[in-house]
Structure 1
Amino acid sequence: MSRSLLKSISIVSIMTLLSRILGFVRDMVFAHLFGASAQMGAFLVAFKIPNFMRRLFAEGAFSQAFVPIFSEYKEKQTVEEVRLFLSRVIGTLAVVLCAVTVFGMVAAKYWVMVFAPGFVQEGKGQLALATDLLRLTFPYLLPISLTACLAGVLNSYHRFAIPAVTPVILNIILIIAAFLGVYYSPDQGIYAVAWGVMAAGFVQLLFLVPSLKRQNMLVWPRWGWSSPGVQRVLKLMGPAIFGASVAQISLLLDTVFASFLKTGSIAWLYYSDRLMQFPLGMLGVALGTVCLPHLSTYFSRGDEKNFAHVIDWSLRLVLLLAVPAAIGIAFVSGPLLATLFQYGAFGPQDVLQAQKSLIAFAIGLIAFIAIKVLVSAFYARQNIKTPVRIAVWAMLLNLVLNAALFIPLAHAGLALATSLSAIFNMVFLYYCLVKHGIYRVSKLWWQVCWKVVIASSLISLLCYFGVPDTAVWLKWHAGQRLGGLILVILGVAGLYFFRFVLLRGSQAAFSFLAK
């Protein structure tokens, strides 16, 4: 089973790596063409709002409620019953999303005022721009949410590659739209990017159709609000929507507070968060994507032993990979930002400011990734309420910390508040699993832990004494920065795993992944 898990996670990680690389190219293009300008800030808000709704209706509440029940249908019902259930779910979801999309476009101005109230103080210009852009990006919600639904179906059949690669389409379209927009209309180029968001949603949806057909799960949508299966999904979605709302509101609190800070704060947070999304996507999203259908299947079969094993194996992988990633990002934050984004309108001062928030985000990286595994354990058991309650307390903590830290530490304080609340969330999720006798870390986890700590301490020393100061990187040209960053990454990764082998960790590492 562990080999199957590792293979699935490797596939998702590789596809996610490709997507993240293009995502960085996209952000480099944005940084070059738009920098940390008011136009960029308005677009980021306009793009974040439908993404918030997407995570709420699709990757958040809906997937958490749908995938466990779909896995149960797949295990216990006939193919025709599964297809009927799926068609009713898709049809009902589509109608609800259409209504939400229309409402969102009509009330676009008020959405912007809620998510970025600081724009009101900036004058009508930025508020009007963000409103116009939001009316173009909000329709993205419909196709991308349906895409997430269909991806959940494919993931339940352990077809992970195609859903994982669909974000590549979004990045390619946005890159093309940015260049075309600036080329044909330098002052209004950001509107082309907003149109690209909407187009990308529909292209991603169509991309999954052939895979659904091969799986014999391509069905016509039909209205099914009152059907038993849809009602079960809706019943779980109630607390799940609340929980997903809490999680997304917690993230968007940064934007709300940052809108009151000086111009550029939203963009600095965005670019540092984008770097954090690289390891989070490579490992955290991959683990969450793979774990949920596996855990749901084992729970449907009543196999508690393998259920606990999946959790333990996943957390061991987090320990092995997330610890050095967090240390590396924290110590090499300046070189990373300078190499990837210091071009065109994104200058040295922007690098130094974004570095502060990136270091603060790195503090919570391990928690961000571990949460993906821990919440999957609850969702697979169709227990939404427990992680929701914990998420509410984490959000309140985040709000208090934001208010306390955003004045003395500016945008870096907002990132630090997000990290600390994530650590709180992780600790209490694990506590509840132990309390209810669902899971407890194994002895093998602790056997590897001390080796990881020693190896990570060595790479910390290497980064501190062996990597030139950020001020040096800012003066280098692009080729020097890229070459230097590659050497640093290879050196840090090589030292970490070489020291792991010297600590007789190689055999443990293989058993660590095989058991």
Structure 2
Amino acid sequence: MSEKKGILFQASRAATGTLLSRGSGLVRDVLFAYVFGTSFQYDAYIVAISIPFLLRSIFAEGGLSSAFVPIYKRSKDKNAFATGVFLFLLFTAGVVSLLLAIFAPNIVYLFATGLRQNAKAFAYAVKMERFTAFFLLFISLWAWGAGILNSHKSFFVPSLSPMFNNLFIIGGILLSPLFHPHILSVAIGFSVGGAFQFLFEMPFLKKIGFKPVPLEDKSERNEFLRAFFFTSLSVALSQTNFFVDTNIASRLASGSISILQYANRIYQLPMGILIVSLASVYLPEMSEKRNVQELKASIHDAFSKLFFIMIPSTFFIALFSRQIIDVIYAHGAFNTQSAFLTSEVLLIYIMGFPFQSSIIIMNRALYAFKSAKTATLVTLFGVLTNVVGDLTLGLRYSVNGMAFATTLSAMVSFTILYLIERKKYSIRISEVKGEFFKILFASLLSTIPLYLSSLIKNPWFSLILGFFSFSISFMVLSHLFKSENASRMWNIFNIKRKKS
């Protein structure tokens, strides 16, 4: 199997696990919409989980993986280095989790100042925060295990394990009538699920040979701490967008936080299943490159694959945003007005999908180039753009204005990143422009059967028919246009069919 085919296979493994995980997440969100709709209880829950989620991006997936994986890959004593990082996370994330639980009222007020206008919502958020705070500890340890497994080219287990968190949340929703407030059982399930998510990885870590070893050489640990500081700072700055969004939304009409969250869940489906899976494979791949030329080739290959995922996903979600929301959410407590507002926000979010997807790959390239400081500065500029957009567009145009501020921030960050990497490392999207235009034209032509499907009034039938007609049309056309990625997919399918 060639290197490029190997990467595609590994990415497909990661995507399969993520698909199963996100599928359970979709069931979770359908139940949320049915039981709680866009109520103040769900607003309170979102605030309560937002705080550990914000820190999760710093301690776990974003900051940790980007700093940990490159050093672990070249470490002489991998078990000793991994043990040192584990102890660091156990202490720091544990202390921070405890502080979040103790100072829950102050933290909740800081994150959602407008929630005080509804005394019940604020009290519920504080009560749930005391449970959800410890999710930070569990998810940090999970990300540590995921980094080790990914470094050993084991992508399926880390991508699948979040399913346990979703299953426990689903259990919390089903048991919610037994609790007061009802939403409290969901917060408990959220934290317990985080613990099981980490424990699921342990047998697989043992299988690849990990065992705790005392750390004697402190040089790699110190290098990790320096890298972790800058990557965490970069991620913390990017998550400021989420903090500002939640705070501004808490000052808008009741249910605004919920609307943004529901739309963001759909927006994150292709991001999490496809883009993040691709990036998780390419980070260790880029870290192994011995010189700039090899690294550039890897980045250009990553962009080629990114186009194959990003462009058709953007077209499909943009044209079918209302059908998607109607089919997934418009049941029970989720009324027609909520569906209309959520679909509008989703449409605005998806306009920024190509830029946000590219940023994920480009940031991985900067970490591989050991330019974490540059990534941090670019992120800071993007955050400032989003904050200004929230304070102007958000307060004037409500949730639509806030969604546009997020999209605008992604556009600005992408432009700056591309100009920097083009000048400093000669990274050029034009290197893969042939693949870009083949996929673009295939996507454009595939919107014809998609448009015809959208004329069907039944949203279920329209969505199902639209998805399959668009997918088949895109795969056939991209293959006819001789897209490199379509040919790879076609060859993999033919090989599997011959074996069966």
The TM-score with structure 2 as length reference comes to 0.93
The verdict on how the C-alpha distance between 1:58 and 1:438 changes in structure 2, with shifts beyond 3 A counting, is farther
Match of 1:216 among 194, 204, 209: 209
1:284–1:368 CA contact under 8 A, matched in 2:
no
**Are 2:229 and 1:238 aligned?**
yes
Q: Residue 151 of structure 1 aligns to which amino acid in structure 2?
A: A
Match of 2:140 among 145, 156, 163: 145
2:34–2:332 CA contact under 8 A, matched in 1:
yes
Question: Which residue matches 2:498?
Answer: none
1:38–1:126 CA contact under 8 A, matched in 2:
yes
Once the two structures are TM-superposed, the CA of residue 164 in structure 1 deviates from its matched residue by: 0.8
Once the two structures are TM-superposed, the CA of residue 488 in structure 1 deviates from its matched residue by: 0.9
Residue segments in structure 1 that go unaligned for 5+ positions in a row: 474-480
Once the two structures are TM-superposed, the CA of residue 507 in structure 1 deviates from its matched residue by: 6.2
Counterparts of residues 354-393 of structure 1 (less than 5 Å): 354-393=342-381
1:144–1:205 CA contact under 8 A, matched in 2:
yes
Question: Which residue matches 1:282?
Answer: 273
Question: Which residue matches 2:109?
Answer: 113
Once the two structures are TM-superposed, the CA of residue 438 in structure 1 deviates from its matched residue by: 4.9
2:450–2:469 CA contact under 8 A, matched in 1:
no
**Are 2:429 and 1:427 aligned?**
no
Question: Which residue matches 2:445?
Answer: 458
The verdict on how the C-alpha distance between 1:511 and 1:488 changes in structure 2, with shifts beyond 3 A counting, is closer
Once the two structures are TM-superposed, the CA of residue 384 in structure 1 deviates from its matched residue by: 0.7
Once the two structures are TM-superposed, the CA of residue 511 in structure 1 deviates from its matched residue by: 6.7
1:402–1:417 CA contact under 8 A, matched in 2:
yes
2:314–2:353 CA contact under 8 A, matched in 1:
yes
| 2: CA distance, partners of 1:462 / 1:398 | 36
Match of 1:268 among 259, 263, 286: 259
Counterparts of residues 175-194 of structure 1 (less than 5 Å): 175-182=170-177, 184-185=178-179, 187-194=180-187
Q: Deviations over 1:86-142 (max 9, x none)?
A: 1111112211111111111111111111111110223x2211110110111001111
- SS of 1:447's partner is helix
Q: Deviations over 1:435-487 (max 9, x none)?
A: 112532354x2112222232222234444454138xx45xxxxxxx4333111
Match of 2:196 among 194, 197, 203: 203
Question: Which residue matches 2:83?
Answer: 87
| 2: CA distance, partners of 1:278 / 1:60 | 18
The verdict on how the C-alpha distance between 1:206 and 1:511 changes in structure 2, with shifts beyond 3 A counting, is closer
Percent identity of equivalent pairs: 29
Question: Which residue matches 1:32?
Answer: 34
**Are 2:269 and 1:254 aligned?**
no
The verdict on how the C-alpha distance between 1:512 and 1:167 changes in structure 2, with shifts beyond 3 A counting, is closer
| 2: CA distance, partners of 1:37 / 1:223 | 50
| 2: CA distance, partners of 1:390 / 1:326 | 24
Match of 2:73 among 71, 79, 89: 71
Residue segments in structure 2 that go unaligned for 5+ positions in a row: 492-500
1:247–1:391 CA contact under 8 A, matched in 2:
yes
2:475–2:486 CA contact under 8 A, matched in 1:
no
1:53–1:141 CA contact under 8 A, matched in 2:
yes
Larger mean CA deviation between 202-211 and 504-513 belongs to 504-513
The verdict on how the C-alpha distance between 1:105 and 1:340 changes in structure 2, with shifts beyond 3 A counting, is same
Match of 1:343 among 331, 334, 340: 331
**Are 2:314 and 1:326 aligned?**
yes
- SS of 1:343's partner is coil
Q: Residue 460 of structure 2 aligns to which amino acid in structure 1?
A: L
2:275–2:309 CA contact under 8 A, matched in 1:
no
Match of 1:488 among 457, 466, 474: 466
Larger mean CA deviation between 232-241 and 433-442 belongs to 433-442
2:308–2:485 CA contact under 8 A, matched in 1:
no
Once the two structures are TM-superposed, the CA of residue 167 in structure 1 deviates from its matched residue by: 0.7
Question: Which residue matches 1:468?
Answer: 455
Q: Residue 15 of structure 1 aligns to which amino acid in structure 2?
A: G
1:316–1:512 CA contact under 8 A, matched in 2:
no
| 2: CA distance, partners of 1:453 / 1:292 | 26
Match of 1:173 among 168, 177, 200: 168
Match of 2:385 among 382, 393, 397: 397
Question: Which residue matches 2:17?
Answer: 15
| 2: CA distance, partners of 1:47 / 1:507 | 42
| 2: CA distance, partners of 1:347 / 1:68 | 48
The verdict on how the C-alpha distance between 1:487 and 1:466 changes in structure 2, with shifts beyond 3 A counting, is closer
Q: Residue 72 of structure 2 aligns to which amino acid in structure 1?
A: F
Q: Residue 439 of structure 2 aligns to which amino acid in structure 1?
A: V
- SS of 1:409's partner is helix
Q: Residue 202 of structure 1 aligns to which amino acid in structure 2?
A: A
| 2: CA distance, partners of 1:429 / 1:68 | 21
Question: Which residue matches 1:155?
Answer: 150
Q: Deviations over 1:351-378 (max 9, x none)?
A: 1010110000010111121111111111
1:94–1:146 CA contact under 8 A, matched in 2:
yes
Question: Which residue matches 1:477?
Answer: none
Once the two structures are TM-superposed, the CA of residue 408 in structure 1 deviates from its matched residue by: 3.7
**Are 2:125 and 1:130 aligned?**
yes
| 2: CA distance, partners of 1:195 / 1:437 | 47
| 1: CA distance, partners of 2:488 / 2:175 | 51
1:162–1:208 CA contact under 8 A, matched in 2:
yes
**Are 2:6 and 1:4 aligned?**
yes
| 2: CA distance, partners of 1:440 / 1:458 | 26
| 2: CA distance, partners of 1:65 / 1:133 | 31
- SS of 2:212's partner is coil
- SS of 1:505's partner is coil
Q: Residue 114 of structure 2 aligns to which amino acid in structure 1?
A: G
The TM-score with structure 1 as length reference comes to 0.91
Q: Residue 433 of structure 2 aligns to which amino acid in structure 1?
A: W
Q: Residue 451 of structure 1 aligns to which amino acid in structure 2?
A: K
| 2: CA distance, partners of 1:84 / 1:507 | 42
Q: Residue 275 of structure 1 aligns to which amino acid in structure 2?
A: I
| 1: CA distance, partners of 2:6 / 2:346 | 34
1:6–1:513 CA contact under 8 A, matched in 2:
no
Q: Residue 487 of structure 2 aligns to which amino acid in structure 1?
A: F
- SS of 1:436's partner is helix
Count of matched residue positions in the alignment of Structure 1 and Structure 2: 489
Q: Deviations over 1:25-69 (max 9, x none)?
A: 000011111111111110011011101111111112222111111
| 2: CA distance, partners of 1:441 / 1:192 | 48
